[in-house]
């Protein structure tokens, strides 16, 4: 009825609300389809349709909106049907302003509560579905009320578990799950079972589970929550780190190298600048390769630049490119290394040798992700991860005014220091074994081992050139060796000096390193006579040093 529509619109808009009116069921449905409403007020009689039909349509569309009926002839049947379908209230005719406004205020307050509940539930559901841990909630009888997708994956149960007792759905480790849950239900306290083995159908998993009591807003106990964390990968990683002897192309099982492996894994997917430091020959380029190939950019280019071999102008052109005519000899445009590395990684080796001008340009790339080609004023943007390396003390160069302080701290977001070979002597035998296999293939030989005096020399040598020097020394030996064992005669000159060789062996005889003793014993299956010969000492010296370092018999 037009007069009632006008009256309602006048009353409600006077309260500051926006009002849309419709003269028929069809108009009302069209308005509902076009907009979101906080309240719908409908006459019970709508020509060929009724307000009940409108209410059914609102519910069918899943609209969160209270509906108020207006009627001059309310009956028990109509009221019951309307309430069953979720009508909020009735307004009888004739319409009174205060009645309309009172119902409007109540309905809108109710709508506000509904919206708040929906938002709250939406947030909970987003958290519930996004976490990697499996989460299940249960009532006091351990019937599953809710579960997320992670719970289905980790626990090996389907969505059909909802509404059923958890024990009926579990196929693996039911005793662990139910025991913890029953304890929580009985004692109303959290329970944790850390790192237990769960044998799934196709694999073994390491799981940790937590159970917590659930209470309502009045503090009354209502059930329990189960959180299951799959720690298989972490446990495997920890196990690997304890005994891992190589990582990508890096080799070593010393504590220092295991820390390097762990740090590389932590940094691989973190898109930040990394400064790799260490003496020449320690493997800084291998670290850059590992960081790139383990990260999310591994399907994009890894571009390497040795900053120490190019002059300032050539390095600037190499890094950023140039346009035709930028300088004498620039006969065409050239794409720089940063452009070639777009989307990937650029490795700047010997970064400590770059000039102040190149330092300034590099700082701009790191800060703004853009640069200009030599001879061009148009900026180019790139998305590149920068890994830099140096064997110099950059902080000392900053103090000397040779390196920009702001660039130093920009590069050194994370520093990854590589230990020199003399600080990880326990890795020498592993490196020798690796190069032995490599050079046998390369030179088509079958050299099996190093002589005892060569091993002793290697273990005590100071290795100023680190792993690179070891590799080159062995390559030289492989070329000149005509037997199946490398001796001192096959080594480069620095190892053949009688005074140095004698000093090394004498030093070893006077005081053996415990790591050397252990390596010799392990190589000889703890045969002390053979170990003493391998170390170049007599058995009494070996026994004395074993006692000194508290080295016991071979462990079982």
pLDDT reported for residue 441: 87
- Inter-residue contact 134 to 109 (CB < 8 Å): no
Query: What is the pLDDT averaged over residues 314-330?
Result: 83
Q: Which residues of 159-188 are buried (b: 16+ CB within 10 A; e: fewer)?
A: eebeeeebeebbebbeebbbebbeebbeee
Is pLDDT above 80 for 245? Answer: no
* pLDDT of the residue at 240: 59
For residues 460, 466, 467 and 470, what is the CA-based torsion angle, rounded to 10 degrees? -50
pLDDT beyond 60 at 243: no
Residue 77 confidence (pLDDT): 65
Q: Using alpha carbons, list the distances in angstroms from residue 464 to 129, 278, 391, 430, 501.
A: 55, 12, 12, 19, 16
For residue 475, pLDDT beyond 70: yes
118's CB contacts (< 8 A; 6+ apart) are 64
Cα(326)–Cα(193) distance, integer angstroms: 69
Task: Supply the pLDDT for residue 189.
Answer: 92
Handedness of CA 311, 313, 318, 320 (dihedral sign): positive
Residues 339-364 have a mean pLDDT of 92
Token pair listed for 255: 């504590």
Average pLDDT over residues 109-115: 90
pLDDT for residue 41: 93
State yes or no: pLDDT of 555 exceeds 60: no
Helices (H), 324-426: 337-340, 356-368, 394-399, 405-411
**513-524 burial string, b = 16+ CB within 10 Å, else e?**
beebbbbbbebb
- At 444-474, the pLDDT tens digits run 888 988 888 888 888 888 899 999 999 999 9
Q: What is the mean pLDDT of residues 219-231?
A: 91
At residue 374, the pLDDT reads 85
Question: For residue 245, what is the DSSP state?
Answer: -
pLDDT at 78: 64
Packing angle between helix 528-535 and helix 514-523, nearest 10 degrees?
Answer: 120
The mean pLDDT value of the chain amounts to: 85
Query: What is the pairing mode between strands 204-215 and 191-199?
Result: antiparallel
E-only strand ranges, 457-506: 485-486
Does residue 418 carry a pLDDT above 60? yes
**Which percentage of the chain shows pLDDT scores above 90?**
36
Average pLDDT over residues 4-29: 91
CB 378 within 8 A of CB 316: no
| pLDDT level of residue 265 (50, 70, 90 thresholds) | confident
pLDDT confidence bin for 279, thresholds 50/70/90:
very high
| Higher-pLDDT residue of 528, 16 | 16
* Token duo for residue 510: 């006077």
- How confident is the model at residue 103, as a pLDDT? 92
Amino acid 372: pLDDT: 87
Q: For residue 9, is pLDDT > 80?
A: yes
Least reliable range by pLDDT among 31-35, 85-89, 240-244: 240-244
Distance CA 119, CA 64 (A): 12
pLDDT of 202: 62
Per-residue pLDDT tens for 494-527? Answer: 776 544 444 445 544 555 677 778 877 877 778 8
Among 123-127, 416-420, 483-487, the range scoring the smallest mean pLDDT is: 123-127
What percent of the chain is predicted at pLDDT more than 70? 91
User: Can you give the pLDDT at residue 499?
Assistant: 46
Q: What is the pLDDT of residue 500?
A: 46
| pLDDT over 60 (residue 538) | yes
- Number of Cα atoms under 13 Å in the Cβ half of residue 276: 26
């Amino acid at each position: 009825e037009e007069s009632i529509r006008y009256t309602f619109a006048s009353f409600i808009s006077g309260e500051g609300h926006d009002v849309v009116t419709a003269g028929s069921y069809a108009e009302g449905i069209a308005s509902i389809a076009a907009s979101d409403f906080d309240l719908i007020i409908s006459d019970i009689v709508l020509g060929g349709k009724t307000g009940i039909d409108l209410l059914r349509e609102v519910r069918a569309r899943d609209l969160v909106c209270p509906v108020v009926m207006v009627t001059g002839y309310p009956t028990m049947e109509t009221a019951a049907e309307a309430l069953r379908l979720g009508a909020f209230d009735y307004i009888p005719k004739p319409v009174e302003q205060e009645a309309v406004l009172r119902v409007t205020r109540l309905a809108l307050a109710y709508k506000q509560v509904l919206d708040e509940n929906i938002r709250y539930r939406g947030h909970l559901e987003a958290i519930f579905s996004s976490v990697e841990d499996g989460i299940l909630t249960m009532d006091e009888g351990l019937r599953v009320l809710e579960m997320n997708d992670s719970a289905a994956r980790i626990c090996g149960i389907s969505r059909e578990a909802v509404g059923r007792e958890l024990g009926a759905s579990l196929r693996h480790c039911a005793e662990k799950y139910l025991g913890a849950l029953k304890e929580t239900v009985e004692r109303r306290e959290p329970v944790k079972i850390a790192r237990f083995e769960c044998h799934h159908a196709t694999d073994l998993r390491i799981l940790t589970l937590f159970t917590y009591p659930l209470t309502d807003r009045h503090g009354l106990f209502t059930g329990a929550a189960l959180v299951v964390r799959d720690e298989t990968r972490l446990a495997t990683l920890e196990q690997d780190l304890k005994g891992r002897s190589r990582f990508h192309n890096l080799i070593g099982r010393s504590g220092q190298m295991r820390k390097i492996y762990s740090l590389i894994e932590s940094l691989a997917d973190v898109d930040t600048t990394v400064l790799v430091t260490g003496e020449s020959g320690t493997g800084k380029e291998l670290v850059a390769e590992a960081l790139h190939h383990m990260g999310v950019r591994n399907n994009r280019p890894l571009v390497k630049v040795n900053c120490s071999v190019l002059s300032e102008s050539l390095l600037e052109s190499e890094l950023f490119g140039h346009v035709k005519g930028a300088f004498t000899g620039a006969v065409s445009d050239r794409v720089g290394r940063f452009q070639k590395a777009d989307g990937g990684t650029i490795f700047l080796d010997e970064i400590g040798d770059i000039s102040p001008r190149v330092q300034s340009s590099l700082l701009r790339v790191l800060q703004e992700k853009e640069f200009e080609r030599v001879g061009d004023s148009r900026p180019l943007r790139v998305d590149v991860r920068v890994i830099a390396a140096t064997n110099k003390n950059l902080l000392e160069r900053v103090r000397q005014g040779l390196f920009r302080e702001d660039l130093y701290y920009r590069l050194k977001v994370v520093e990854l220091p590589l230990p020199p070979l003399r600080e990880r002597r326990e890795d020498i035998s592993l490196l020798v074994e690796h190069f032995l296999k490599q050079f046998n293939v390369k030179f088509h030989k079958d050299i099996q081992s190093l002589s005892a005096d060569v091993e002793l020399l290697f273990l005590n040598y100071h290795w100023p050139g680190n792993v690179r020097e070891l590799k080159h020394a062995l390559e030289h030996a492989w070329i000149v060796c005509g037997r199946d064992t490398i001796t001192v005669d096959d080594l480069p000159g620095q190892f053949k000096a009688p005074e140095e060789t004698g000093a090394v062996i004498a030093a070893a005889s006077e005081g053996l390193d415990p790591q050397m003793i252990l390596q010799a014993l392990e190589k000889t299956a703890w045969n002390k006579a053979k170990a003493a010969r391998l170390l170049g000492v007599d058995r009494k010296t070996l026994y004395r040093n074993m006692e000194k370092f508290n080295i016991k018999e071979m462990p079982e």
